[in-house]
Every structure is written in C-alpha cells, then in structure tokens.
Structure 1
Amino acid sequence: MNRFDGRVAVVTGGADGIGAAVVRGLHAEGAAVVIADVQHGAGTTLAEKLGPRAVFVRTDVSNDDDVAAAVDSAVDSFGRLDIMFNNAGVMGVLGPIDRTPLAEVDATIAVNLRGVICGCKHAARIMKPQGSGVIISTSSPGGMLGGVGPHVYSATKAAVIGLTNSVAAELRPYGIRVNTIVPGAVVSQMTATVVADGDLAGAEAALGASALIDRALQPTDVAAGVLYLASDAAAYVTGVTLPVDAGMTGVFGSSPYTSGRYEDPVTLLEAGRTRTAG
C-alpha cells in the first residue's frame, strides 16, 4: 500500500522503539519523514538507511525552539507537514510520592507534557493555513488506570489525553484531526530497563508471560494503530483515544460469568433467585 504518498511527517522520539516503527511504516508507504529525537547516533543511522525521504533533526522536545526547528525542517525539506506524531517520552521519576524530588517532577513533565504541547503548537501553525493535517500523541494505560505507571508519568499521560481532546475541538474546523494512541507495555529499551535490567530479550519473555493475548506487544503493533489514525481510513476520526493494549484498559480480566459455575447459562433474578436459562 502507499497510503502516504506525497505526505510529510514529523515523528518525535523517532529513533527507536515505537517511534522508529512508525517512521519505518510511514516511509514504507510513501511518506517523507523527519526523525526528531535526542539520540543522534540512532536517529542518523535510521535516516541514512531510509534514504532521501528521511532526515534526522536532533530535538529535545522540552525545548520549544527545537520542536519548532523539527517542524520547520519538514517544511523546508519536503514542502509541507501532514502528520505530527508526538511520541517522545520518558518514564521519568519513580518512587514513593512523599520522597519525590520536585526537580525530577519538573523534568518529567517537561518531556512528557510540555513536549506534546510544543508539538501540537508547531504542527498547528503549519496545518491551519493548509486546512488539513493529523496530530497524534502517545499516552499510556498509566494515564487511564492507577497502579500501572509511576506517579508523575501517569499524571502526564492522563494530561496528554485531556490536551488532545481539547486541541481536537479547536482544530476540527480547520480540517485537522487530533487523536491519542495508548500502547500497552511494549517491547522496547525503556521497558526493558524497568522489567529486565535493560535486557531486551528478557523483557520480551517477561512481557510475553504476562500478556493478555498470546505474545508480547511489539512496536509494529502500535505503529499499525498510528498509521490507521494518520490515514484517510480515519478521515472521520478525531478526539479519539485508541488503546493498543490487548484490552488492558477496557477488559482487563476474563469474564467470570461465562465459565465455572456459569458455564451453563442461568438467569439471576430478584433477591438472588435463579432460573435455568434455555
């Protein structure tokens, strides 16, 4: 397929993990892509592998000027901006709330929330005059459920959802769609640091063992959701939060009402009275 022929994207955090999978997916389907990341080596290598329709721009998303430069690079290099994927993020400060250092709180917020605000801001200044565009931002189950992410990370990811919906309401009249993607625990270097002391293979094994479906979530699974939201197939989709998490945020457990004592249908009526169904 060539869903993105002639289109131009900026992907923050595009040098590895989910971001790199999205960069590769967009590029494979015809898009030109700006890889915006602080990881110079990985970003440059990826751009060189992809060829002339990909450029790397070193980007600290907490720095407004850096994000502006990444967006301007898309316009200068390829003439326009059609897709902005605000993906860069960090796990940030971990630990108990009563011992959380505020300097690290501010640093986490700067990347995970300020960075998304900057991405929306600079994408909008290009897309509004065009009258078209798609902005997608990465949240997390931690932004929807308690206990599945660190405190400040969870707060920022909840804020991304609120920000996205607010910006979607503003930009809809300009033909710009704004959505959120919510990946589950994906096999990536950041996740590996948390669950397997940095060992990627160990992380895949650990995540696979606890997966709600039959294998660990891969960056390409998340990329498929992002590419759908970015495509014309989602032309009527805005202000949406799309989980790619095997149902973690919506159907966390298996239903107890279809197995065990309820394997054969029964109807439960008033005051606990039952009636055999069927």
Structure 2
Amino acid sequence: MELQDKIAIVTGAGSGIGRASSLLMAKQGAKVVLVDFNQTTGEETLQLIKEQGGEAIFVQADVSNSKDVQNYVQTAVDTFGRIDVFFNNAGVIQKFAPLAEVEDAEFDRIMSVNVKGVFLGMKYVLKVMENQGSGSIINTASTAGIRSEHSASIYSASKHAVVGLTKAAALEYVKKGIRVNAICPGGVKTALTSSVERMFTETGYVPEEVSVMRMGRYAEPNELAEMVVFLSSDKASYMTGSVVVVDGGLTL
C-alpha cells in the first residue's frame, strides 16, 4: 500500500475531494486525522473509513482560527506521534458578482478560509515536519488559481494566493525534506459545485462566461483523490513546488 503507516491530516474532510481523498488514503494504509467545520459530515467520513477497516479520528475546526488549527495539529501529534502528509484542502466559493459589487464581508470570508486557512495549516504543520525532517503537503488551489473565472474575482485571487504560498513554502523547505505541491481541480462533482448552480438560480445572476467542461462532465472526487495520494506518496519524491492541473482540459 502506497501510504502504509503514514499519518495524514485532511482538512475539508467532510465532503467532496476531502472525503474521497481521506477514504483513499485510509485504504492505502494511512491513519487519517479528519478535519472539518461541519461535525456531522466529518463524523460521517470517519464512519465510512471505519466501515472499510481503516483508522482515523475526527477533529472539528475552523481552519481560519489559529487556535483551532494548532489544536488539530497537536491532536495529530498527540495521537499518532508525527505528521507525514497534510492535505490542506478546505475552501469556500464566493457569491458570483462583478468585482465592483462584491461586499467587503464577502471578500473577508473568502480570504479568511481560502488563504488564511491554508497559511495557518502550513505554518503549524511545517514546524512538525521540519522537526521530523520529512513530509508532504498538498494544497488545494483551483483552475481559478492559474486563470480567472468570470464574476469570481475574489475566489480567483484567493486561489492565486494558494499557488503563491505553495511555491514559496516549497522553495523555503526544499532542503529540509519537505515537499509542497498544489492541485488545481476544474469542475468536480461536489456539494460546492452544486451550490454554484443553486446560486445562479436563487440570485438570477449568471456570469457572461461560464466554464465549459471539455470532457462533457465534471470530475468525480475520486479522480482528484488519486492525484492527492500520488503526491502524498514516495512515488512523487522528486516533485515540489508543482502546480498540478487536473481539469479535464478546462484550461485548454
């Protein structure tokens, strides 16, 4: 198994890519610390892992809250003794609107989770990994982190920031045994993408341009989970600072 006896933390583990990755990591032998703001969905993922014979614990947390982040990191260390893999995945989508119409509070909400949450997770996990002399971090960016999405300026800015944080951390820790990479999903069949479609209906606002799924479908969460497990494993031992696009040709 690719992740046998590895200790992994996954944020946003209660649904979508986070849940699929948690399940696959556990199936590949990892012991998983599941982190999510939503206790109900997080505990559902925990139960699914236990049903397949895996080992995991759940920690409820707001990833934008420093104390909560320190708590899930310390819980991982107290429970399992180390952190080998960190899938820094939790994120939120903005309410679609032209830039000049975005509310200040909406800007703060998106940046708080998507940027500060990623920063705080790396800040405290990197300290543990540096002491170990090893570790793999995978940040969830987006195709919106390498180009813009119409009417999603703040989300795009936040995901560009994730790419920047990934490259900066990869550079700073490359000689300390730590690899830091990012994935850029396109459309994925998750609750988040469903919320986008509902948003269009509820608000009556549809961007002038909407991304086209060139394969004619959204990705399944497990298709992203496979890449996460690969980047977590020793098979990706020569990869750091990589921004891996998994988008079915969306950005072509």
Aligned to 1:204: none
Q: In structure 2, how many angstroms separate the alpha carbons of the residues matched to 1:13 and 1:172?
A: 26
The one-letter code sitting in structure 1 at the alignment partner of 2:164 is: G
Alignment partner of 2:149 out of 136, 147, 150: 147
Shift of residue 235 of structure 1? 0.2
Two-structure CA RMSD over aligned residues (Å): 1.8
Shift of residue 162 of structure 1? 0.7
Give structure 2 stretches of 5+ with no counterpart: 202-211
1:76-131 Cα distance to aligned partner (Å, 9 max, x none): 11111000111000003431221211122111100000000011111101000100
Aligned to 2:77: 75
Aligned to 1:234: 236
1:51-84 Cα distance to aligned partner (Å, 9 max, x none): 3711110011110111111111111111110001
The one-letter code sitting in structure 1 at the alignment partner of 2:19 is: A
TM-score (norm 2): 0.90
1:11 pairs with 2:18? no
Aligned to 2:38: 39
What does 1:19-34 correspond to in 2, within 5 Å? Answer: 19-34=18-33
What does 1:38-187 correspond to in 2, within 5 Å? Answer: 38-51=37-50, 53-148=55-150, 150-187=152-189
Q: In structure 2, how many angstroms separate the alpha carbons of the residues matched to 1:183 and 1:247?
A: 10
Q: Percent identity?
A: 39
Q: In structure 2, how many angstroms separate the alpha carbons of the residues matched to 1:168 and 1:214?
A: 34
Q: In structure 2, how many angstroms separate the alpha carbons of the residues matched to 1:74 and 1:165?
A: 25
Following TM superposition, the consecutive aligned residue runs of length 4 or more in structure 1 with deviations greater than 6 angstroms are: none
CA contact (8 A) 2:23 2:48 kept: no
Bigger Rg, which one:
1
Q: In structure 2, how many angstroms separate the alpha carbons of the residues matched to 1:117 and 1:215?
A: 32
* Pairs aligned (count): 240
CA contact (8 A) 2:13 2:45 kept: no
Q: In structure 1, how many angstroms separate the alpha carbons of the residues matched to 2:101 and 2:233?
A: 44
CA contact (8 A) 1:22 1:226 kept: yes
The one-letter code sitting in structure 2 at the alignment partner of 1:192 is: S
DSSP 3-state at the match of 1:213: coil
More deviation in 223-232 or 89-98? 89-98
CA contact (8 A) 1:23 1:33 kept: yes
TM-score (norm 1): 0.82
CA contact (8 A) 2:213 2:250 kept: no
